[in-house]
Structure 1
């Protein structure tokens, strides 16, 4: 009855006093109910928009990007109005809306709640209307791990004055380029890194540290600087990239660029680095082994010399590396003699001390005796005492296998497990090993042992499949290899005019030839090397198109077992390559290849690597390589054709890599060929397969019954090409699938994969979660380290080792 009377009153007011109608209309129950329903509907829509935006922000942050400030502000505002609306809804439900024992509506409460609901709805509508963004996020420059405070940095008292002088020079407005020089292994890089850590924020807004070395080219240096500045190049030419880099550096008011390990003149303008009058806010710090490189070739002023450690500093560092147990024991006098034999060179001290850690007194005495008679006094790049210290560590390596691997890494400058595996297997360096899986395990073990001996270092990226070698250690390795193993190594400048190379008298007896950065046609018509086992040629990228390889080049090196050609433009491989009946490893990385048919003659070939090469079609002749154990087609972006019945013939294949934005058009119709591409069914004919990497565009091409439980590692990506570009550590079992076009989870055949360690699902629907959970339990999930599931209304990501 009360509601009827109220309705009549409202209608009368509407007719007689329209201005008062809006105020009194809040008393009607229908108005009150409508306002509440509208508020709840708007809040639900706002929550959906907020969740969608949060997923986009999360994805951007995972890719190393920073969300825009207006995006963060909008999310903050959305959270505030949602929280306020949710609280209001809770309070409204508990509010008393009737009086007189429930006989009449509480008009005062109803009016207040109705009016508040309408106000909050308008606030929500306004926030939704403000959701207009040109972009969600922006790319930021990544942090340089070398500039993170280093607790292991040794602040040697004798070097504190030099550090202070460098700091003063950097504060001087008249100094735009300065340098640090000293022999290899003296600690120039460590000092430069400490300078970088001290001046960041205090003197410079931005600090960039890049290692140059004698192998890096202009593009690589440009790329490293750009990465650390968060710059993405859109130009292909070096000059275009230099212009972009120049503008980016100019945008920084105060920036310090450290170019570590300069070997020769480097034209900063060609790189794109402004300095001097070009940009007063940009200063450059160089490190080099020679004052001549700094003062004459780079015109650097002032330059600071780094000398060896004094005896007490050397002893303290030696104790830290070898262990304090050597002090106050029978070891002390011998240990002090060994430390003195390291000649105050930090690298030598660390290398020898760690090699002797926890060794017997007899081994310490043997080390002391050998370090007392330094040799190789004519070795130009390393101090004789330092040379002997590293040479001693090499001599102490247990077994020829470990020594051979150390020398191979040194004189080829390879830096990955994959390369070491391919070359080591081709040269039969792994004793008693025939299977790739066993060889891969052996490589990891040997690399670990060399790191423990301080003859190898962890790669700066911290990736387990990569490693590095200090320049001084590499110099010693090259010296040993050249004198004891008849290895010839040279760069383009060294080859040009080299007597051994030009007359062929000495080169004829070489067992390995390694040529880096070859720019011009210095290759002879025929290379006569009857004892040659390894040929390694890396062309300079800028002039690879002008480098030709004579057709008869391989005619007189019939014993060669490993051939590596990197960065070369080859219209066709020399026909003489087919004469290499003993060839076991052929690596053609980042080459422009037109005709590969000659590989069909290499019947004993076990490893074929075409990684990063421009190749449109895998030649049918590859099917004749029936002893092939490894085939690497990663990053072959132009590869569009793999004819049928090639892969199925490779019955001895143990490792197959076709991924990394390479071929993914399985069973697709090839327009030019008029046939379909190879089918994944062919993988069923590879019983020895242990490692597999695949990109699959269409999930329907993945056959049922594909036996994959023998795989020790795999990386399989299913979905639209390029949908996920992150590269994780390959030493795991990884499966990524994008569920698109209503393809359901059960159709992706995840159950075929055993011991999954990394699983990522995109396009997942809520109803798939239970099915997925049950199937994962069936196949076993104890090995799972990382799980990511993403969908239109679902976003779940579990970090490594927390699933």
Structure 2
């Protein structure tokens, strides 16, 4: 019986437990719903983790196992099934008029929930084995801020920064270049841009890769891969490039910052996709060389300048911990030292940091060393900037640029170096090697200058001058000393003697005891007499510049005969007895006299010596007072390529006489490539003023012009700047009476004419309308004044295109018979309409491009002028901004109508009305 009771008890328990288990689907329904929702969340988290692993594998260019893909597929199916079940639980099921739950529905659905929960747990457990539990953590974007000090925002940086951010946001710009001299803060600014790009989510990914002067492709590949949390499975460079390219193309928007680029990078060898496949990618490069930006096809080049004085002082105080509590004497020293750093951040930071907390005596020592232009080592204070700038020098890819860099450093601090002077000195020093063609050598020096400017080792002041940053100049002296080529510049005191031979010297007084056996460049800027004996010891001297800075005094030249290696000689503000010493300078290439005087150029008894100057390529006279006729002797120099003479009317009474002397004596050598001949410039409205050295290409300025002289006509025909007055010889026009109309003077860029009584027009092709070649096609500036019989600029039929197209400025003054800028000749049709060839007639052409670049025009005292522009020209005046008309009393219209204008009594009203009804392009209109 007990056995039966026990059996029944166990059966009853199972029945009861089974019943209870079955009943829980109904009574614990809500619990099943919550548990399934929890497992659903677990599944979602697991799916995300597995997907992350798949993405990570893809970024590593790895292929995941098929079982993982199958699991993700099952997980997605289960998620959908769970979502359906949970949506069904939200459907309310009840009976007995909504007063009682539907227990049968709850039972069935609860059972499904329990089963699905168990299924999810199995799926989740399986998925967790596909999760990579340990992975290298990505570097937070703010880590750089933790490692480095906050940069100070300066106005001089703001402009470059704003340009960078704007370029980053411009979808049309894919390549950006940031350039500036070494140590000016390019890397710091690039990092600031990186932070902004990340903070504003401009890109999905921003990577920063240092490149440096030596391009190591494997290292760059590793840096890029590391930034992308990617590891290469291969070791071969080309295979890595392909892998990296696969990885980069996965990013929708990525910014790559390539820092410190020195040469054009081969993106293909690195693995950076070509521009065709780089649609979501921007690249920012930082470099010291503007030419790198250009060679890499940067669509936006941004220059980063050095700091202003105020910004330099702010940065210096920050780095040296200068505060209001700092002693005044230290502050004073700190301010002076800051000024010596000349705005270069790397120098400011290095020096200021090294002086922080030091005693006053250390500050004094630092200032003295900086002022003495000697490389210093204040706790290694200048090691970084010096090595930084030397690296720029080392990476110059031509010896010409390196030699020119050292030459520039001989000029004083902040000296604005004439480019022309630099060219002549560089050629004289052999920077371009042996000179066969002076023009070719000139081109090589200019190319080297451009390279230095683009490398930020030289600063352009304007088109004619350059200068060196003081710290760059000090580094050049340091480099020269290390190469045993000492460079010295003393502008206030005697030259101090130092160990080692001096190669380049700029001084105010030359010490007699100096070793000058290796001296190649010497510039003496003195107020004292120059000792004649010092030149006897200068056997290697190639460039000599002697400038008298006081009242012109006598220069002794006896020992000049020993300067047999001199290539470039410049004498300024001296009285000379003679200059026959040049006959011994067989290697002389350029000879310049500025504000000098002497009785004769060369003794006529030394004609043979003159003809032996076979290496003389350049001869220059600037404002020299010469008693004899120099032109007769100059033409004896056999291979002259460049000739410059500049004489003011103050030096003689009769400009016609001087011009006749020149015209009759001077002959044009077939070798002559450049010339600047200015005889009587002061008659012209815009006076010609040459700087220390003449740098014009082909300029002819003469107050008297005889058209019968073929030498003068030949020079004028080739000129790029031509100014002539008092034309004699019966010419009614420039073309064809003086110059052939078919030749067109198409090299001419600037033309000035005055006091030419017989001239009636510039061009007249009325007698042969078939001669329609381009004329004055490069002319940009024209000034005509005081030509009493001028009636028009062009009589005949100018071409629709090619004539006056480049003209930007036009000035016509005191031409009382001017009736129109252009008078057109219409071909005769019958006897009634036939005109004589001498009569000026008005006609109309089709719309032309004449004056299409004209920006400024002035008309003064042209009493017969009725209208300014003909109807055919009006449409081309899109660039005209300033039009000034004064004392043109007969003016009826600015723009001529196609039909003859009706009479108006008030001229000014007509002018204003025409202006408003025309193109409306004027920004300034003045009529009186």
Task: Give the TM-score category using the shorter length.
Answer: 0.3 to 0.5
TM-score normalised by length of structure 2: 0.40
Larger radius of gyration: 2
Q: Larger helix proportion, structure 1 or 2? A: 1
Asked which structure has the greater RCO (Cα within 8 Å, sep 6+), the reply is 1
